[in-house]
Amino acid sequence: MPGREESSGSSSAGRSMQGTPRQGLGPRLPHMGKWTLLFCGCILAAAWGQMNFTGDQVLRILAKDEKQLSFLRDLEILKPQKVDFWRGPARPSLPVDMRIPFAELDDIKGYLESHGLAYTVMIKNVQVLLDAEREAMAKARRLERSASSFSYSSYHTLEEIYSWIDNFVTEHSDIVSKIHIGNSFENRSILILKFSTGGSNRPAIWIDTGIHSREWITHATGIWTARKIVSAYGKDSILTDILNTMDIFIDLVTNPDGFAFTHSMNRLWRKNKSSRPGTSCTGVDLNRNWKSGFGGNGSNSNPCSETYHGPSPQSEPEVAAIVDFITGHGNFKALISIHSYSQMLMYPYGHSMEPVSSQKELYRLAKKAVKALYKVHGINYIFGSISNTLYVASGVTVDWAYDSGIKYAFTFELRDTGRYGFLLPATQIIPTAQETWMAIRTIMQHTLNHPY
Amino acid sequence: VDSKQGCKIDLVFSTQSYNQEEGEKHLGNCSAHVFFKNEKPRPAINITCTRSIEKKKRQEDDYLLYKQLKQLKNPLKAANIPDSHGHIDPSLRPIWDLAFLGSSYVMWEKTTPFLHYNLVRLTSVKQWKTNDTIDFDYTVLLHELPTQEIIPCRIRLVWYPGKPLKVKYQCQELQTLEESSGTVEGSAESTELSNI
């Protein structure tokens, strides 16, 4: 819908940008011949098509009095556009910083010396600093070399997550593998992680995160959980028992198109990015597109709505891929779909206030899981069926799962309760993941001990 | 709930310091009576709280905030608080706090038995330079539940410690192209918010 999209590209004011000269002392630079530098600089500049600051220096001058200060001001008149004041002449006792182009160095230094102006060379070669800065930025953006140097307490881009997946699978190939279950509307790969210690088509547990792209804490929690699973195997007896009998599958970026969009254009995008003729509004709410109570209350037939259910059940490739995989597998015993925010743990139904037949057992399990979660950091979750706890919503994942025979179908709404909401500070990623893990573990343990 | 007259809710809750840097300090207890007449927005609220911060300390804190905001050299201009990663620069915290206060009035005005709101983000702030009052123009994004819609609102907030807060706002309802707008005057200090 026009007017709804906001640019969230540069969110912090005043950050230093590539190519802008910086103030401050640079690192100690190796001594290089003037002309070698100039030559290299020209090549590099030509290659990058950028402004060239090779050999330029930044001088700091302390004017003793107004007279000396005026000499500096005169410099601007004598050498128009040849002197670039980073800190202009203001008053004596305040340093004056100026960038001098390579070709002017001898002249300017001569001028300063002849007028008794003391100076120091703050930056010996501006271009070298710029190159170093550019390299550092590229390095930071460049994908992490290993899953262990990946920051689990930061939010990441789609590319970073996919790169982490590859590293993670390589580093833990004894337990983890990657499966491509389909493609999104914009043709991005939908990848899931499989955790297995062997066997063939073992009873399985499904976890998905990021079905609503703006819920960034869910992807972050999923990634941390994946790492937790491999590190806990062989150490945590409960998890070890689980993994010795069952397989775990995690769909980390259930809505990759939406997620990419939250990084590029609109941090608050919720739906996928499918388009249809007849309307300029895009996107289907993937958590209203499942075949259970489809089109009922708590979903919307208006394509411009945030809870638009789509033209038909499973019409969306992101949902169809999961349905096909789970149905094809045929042996899933639990499904956990993770959202944010509200601090809730819920079971079906969303589309109706009627209790499911396993309601009593699910209630008790939810209670136990929430208690385990609370023990970690004292965070309170409420629990119950979706329709009773949150609101009536039709065509949701867990309703479909339950109706398909997956009894232990739960959905989380992670931290917080509205203070930061979707924009949960990254400092809360690990605490959130730690407490959520204890709840997930409780559900998995119960599933293991109650085969059906 | 008497649907003929409206919806009555009685609440009891405890309060804690909004500023989490001060820790989860328990501040007081409140009991409130909320009444939605005929499912209309802006419920009548009768609330009493026990406070554990003395009036004097509150006035001091208010004046401190006032001074902080007055001391800003150039009228403040900022955008996207918090950023995409949930971070708020400490220097911008007071701005967020004030915006939250203004937004809470707007949200109260819009709340019905079926719709409630949370503040997502301050998309832009612009300060007006005045001699005495603190005067801000904000745009905020509100998260509407259960529709899940994101509602942009423009808010004009005028504050002076000890005086009632003045809030003018205009929200854009994207779906229906309706606009909700209004003016609220409220006191941040009073222990009773009556229907204005």
Q: What number is the ipTM of this complex?
A: 0.85
Find residue B127's DSSP bridge partners.
B136
Q: Are strands A119-123 and A344-347 parallel, antiparallel or unpaired?
A: unpaired
Distance from CA of A255 to the nearest CA of B (A): 17
Report pLDDT for A406: 98
Closest residue in chain B to residue A9, using alpha carbons only? B84
CA distance A384 to A398: 13
Distance of alpha carbon A103 from alpha carbon A106, whole angstroms: 8
- From the list B86, B141, B172, which residue is nearest A420 (CB)? B86
CATH of domain B54-195: 3.10.450.10
> Known catalytic residue: A435?
no
* B70-90 pLDDT tens trace: 877 677 788 999 999 999 998
Chain A residue whose CA is closest to B104:
A419
Query: Token digits for A439?
Result: 């709840």
Which residue, A350, A222, A334, A355, is CA-closest to A285?
A350
Q: What average pLDDT does chain B have?
A: 81
Q: Does the N-terminal peptide bond of residue B160 adopt cis geometry, omega within 30 degrees of 0?
A: no
- Min mean pLDDT across B49-53, B127-131, B139-143 is at B49-53
A113-161 pLDDT, tens digit each: 888 888 888 777 877 767 766 665 555 555 556 666 799 999 999 999 9
* Nearest CB neighbour to B175, from listed A304, A393, A421: A304
The burial class, CB within 10 Å (0-12 / 13-18 / 19+), for A298 is buried
Q: Which of A50-59, A220-229, B100-109 has the highest mean pLDDT?
A: A220-229
Which of B118, B119, B139, B141 best probes binding to A when mutated, by most A CB atoms within 10 angstroms? B118
Give the residue from A141, A195, A207 showing the smallest Cα distance to A168.
A195
What distance in Å separates the CA atoms of residue A268 and residue A56, rounded to the nearest whole number?
44
Mean pLDDT of B9-33: 71
Are A214 and A282 in contact by the 8 Å Cβ rule? The answer is: no
The pLDDT tens digits of the residues spanning A358-415 come to 999 999 999 999 999 999 999 999 999 999 999 999 999 999 999 999 999 999 999 9
B74–A contact, CB cutoff 8 A = no
Q: Given pLDDT bands bounded at 50, 70 and 90, which one contains residue A77?
A: confident
Quick check: B79 contacting A, CB < 8 Å?
A: yes
Neighbours of B132 (CB within 10 A): 9
Chain A residue numbers with beta carbons less than 8 Å from the beta carbon of B82 are 420, 423, 425
For residue A321, pLDDT beyond 50? yes
Q: Shortest Cα distance from A417 to chain B (angstroms)?
A: 9
Confidence of residue B51 (pLDDT cuts 50, 70, 90): confident
Q: Say whether B86 and A425 touch across the interface (CB within 8 A).
A: yes
Whole-prediction pTM: 0.75
Minimum-distance CB partner of A426 among B86, B89, B172: B86
Residue B66's pLDDT band, with cuts at 50, 70 and 90, is confident
Q: How many CB pairs under 8 A join A and B?
A: 77
> Above 70 in pLDDT, residue A21?
no
Handedness of CA A74, A78, A80, A84 (dihedral sign): negative
